[in-house]
Structure 1
C-alpha cells in the first residue's frame, strides 16, 4: 500500500483577514483531503490555520499540527487536532514541517508565511528540497511578490530558471494538477544556485 503524501500548508493565523481568503483556504483543504493528501500545518486554531484544520477534520482528513510550546501556553493551538507535535522553537516547527512534507502549499499570509515560503525556496535553490511549492494567488494576493521575483530576475539577483521553483495557481481546484505536474527540483539544482 502506498504511503500517504503530506502537504505542508503555510498560511495566516490572523482571524481578521477578508472572508474570501477563508473561503479559498477551506476549498484548498477540501481539495487536498479528497485527493488523498495528508496535511501538516502550524497547529493554530485561528485565522486561515484554524480554517484549514476545521475543514480537514470536517472531511475526516489526516492532519498534523506542529506548534512551539510557548504558543500552547497561550492557548493558540487547535484543541481538536489530536496529532499535535510540540517543539521548542519556531525554527524547529518550520524544519519539521518541511521534513515531513512531500510538497508545500502557500496560502495568503503575513510575515510568518513569507518566512516559511522563502526558507523553502532557499532550500530548493540549493537542491535541499525537491518537492513542489505551490502558491495559491487568491484574488491576486501574491501579484506584488511575483513582480518582485521578476525584478530579481531582470536585475540578475537570480536566474530565470529559479522561477521554476514554484507554481502559481489562482484557484484551489488547480492545486492537485499543479502538485502532480510540478517538476521535481533535484540535487543538481546546486549547479544553478550561483549566478
Structure 2
C-alpha cells in the first residue's frame, strides 16, 4: 500500500475551514486506497486527519517523539504508533515510509518539514510527489517567496515545479497520481 506523509498543524485553535479541509482530504486519500503517515498527535489538524481516516477504516501510522507522549499529545486510537527520541527521527521515518508528501496548513514545524523535503527533492533524494493544499490561500505568501527566489536566481525556474499546489481537498489525489517523475536535468545542477 502506498502511504502519504501528511504534514500539518497541531494547534486546536485554527479556523474551522482548515479542519474541514483536513477531514475531506483524509477521507479522499483513504477512499483512493492510500495509507496515511502523520505526526501521531490527537489534536489540531493532525487529530482531524487521523480521526477521519480511522472513521473510514483507513491505514494510519503515527510517528511521535517520546516527549510528546509524556505530555499526552499522542492519539490513543491509532494502533500503529511509533515512538522515537527526536523530532528529526520522526520526520526522517515519515519521509522514508512515504510514497508522497501532502502539506496542509501549519506552523513552523510544518514549514520546516515541507522545506526539508523540497530540498531533498531538489537534490534528487526524494523522487515522490509533493502536494501543498493551499486552503483559504494559506500558502500564498510562501509561493510569493519561492517565486522571488527564482527571480533573484537563488533557484532555477524548474525548481518551482517540484511540488503541486492545489486549492481544494478533492484535487489532492489527482495531483499525487498525475505527478511526473522528477526530471534528471533538474537535479543535475541543483544550484543556480
Q: Bin the TM-score by the shorter chain.
A: over 0.9
Query: Residue 37 of structure 1 is aligned with which of 34, 37, 51?
Result: 34
Tell me the distance in 2 between the aligned counterparts of 1:188 and 1:36.
32
Tell me which stretches of 4 or more aligned residues in structure 1 moved more than 3 Å: 186-189
Which residue in the other structure is 1:100 paired with? 97
Partners of 1:127 and 1:188 within 8 A in 2: no
Q: How many residues align?
A: 192
Query: Residue 80 of structure 1 is aligned with which of 74, 77, 84?
Result: 77
Which residue in the other structure is 2:65 paired with? 68
* 1:194, distance to aligned residue in structure 2 (A): 1.5
* 1:190, distance to aligned residue in structure 2 (A): 2.8
Over aligned residue pairs, what C-alpha RMSD do you find?
0.9
Partners of 2:158 and 2:186 within 8 A in 1: no
For residues 104-115 of structure 1, the aligned pairs below 5 Å read 104-115=101-112
Query: Residue 13 of structure 1 is aligned with which of 5, 10, 13?
Result: 10
Query: Residue 118 of structure 2 is aligned with which of 116, 121, 124?
Result: 121
Partners of 1:13 and 1:49 within 8 A in 2: yes
Which residue in the other structure is 1:163 paired with? 160
Tell me the distance in 2 between the aligned counterparts of 1:146 and 1:64.
30
Tell me the distance in 2 between the aligned counterparts of 1:72 and 1:100.
21
Tell me the distance in 2 between the aligned counterparts of 1:184 and 1:53.
28
- SS, match of residue 109 in structure 2: helix
Q: TM-score, normalised by structure 1?
A: 0.96
Tell me the distance in 1 between the aligned counterparts of 2:177 and 2:160.
18
Tell me the distance in 2 between the aligned counterparts of 1:16 and 1:73.
22
* 1:192, distance to aligned residue in structure 2 (A): 3.2
Q: TM-score, normalised by structure 2?
A: 0.98
- SS, match of residue 83 in structure 2: strand
Partners of 2:129 and 2:176 within 8 A in 1: yes
Name the CA shift for 1:130/1:58 in 2 (closer, same or farther; >3 Å): same
- SS, match of residue 182 in structure 2: coil
